[in-house]
Every structure is written in C-alpha cells, then in structure tokens.
Amino acid sequence: MKPDPRIYRLGCNGFAVHASECLFVGDGANGELRGAAEAGMTPVLLAENGVARWDGLDAWDGARIHALPEVLDLL
C-alpha cells in the first residue's frame, strides 16, 4: 500500500509501462507523492483551488496542478 514503491510498480507492470513514463497525480496523503517518486514516476500534487489538502505540502517543490484537466498540459 502507499507509499511503498512496490504498489506503484505493480500498477506499471499491469499496464506494461515503465514508471519513468508515468505521472502520478494525487493530493499527497499518506506519503503517496514520495512513494511515486521512489518508484520512478513523476509525482504531481493536486492542490484544488491552489490549496494543499494535507499539512506539510504547501512547500511541495514538484509539479502542482489545481484541477485534473491541467494534467494535459504536463504531457
């Protein structure tokens, strides 16, 4: 389970893609962004309305979006 990198790798294996080809988009709960990065994915913080949902994520220095349609701009 998150943030163990193995769960992310299982997902990649299921879709037959390399982790380096994946974006992981999440609100940052339970260390999920760190886990995705450790698995080799590009983590993206979903901070709806510009506000991080969980403590400690306001200083997130990785990719950040405010709404899911913005993922298309990252591809």
At 15-57, the pLDDT tens digits run 999 999 999 999 999 999 999 999 999 999 999 877 788 877 8
Q: What pLDDT, on a 0 to 100 scale, did the predictor assign at position 7?
A: 95
Amino acid at 31: G
Work out the pLDDT band at 9, boundaries 50, 70, 90. Answer: very high
- What does the alpha-carbon distance between residue 22 and residue 39 come to, in Å, rounded to a whole number? 10
Q: Please give the average per-residue pLDDT across 56-70, as a whole number.
A: 89
Residue 10, CA distances (Å) to 7, 47, 50, 68 in order: 5, 26, 31, 23
What pLDDT does 17 receive? Answer: 97
Average pLDDT over residues 60-72: 92
What number of other Cβ atoms are within 10 A of residue 62's Cβ? 14
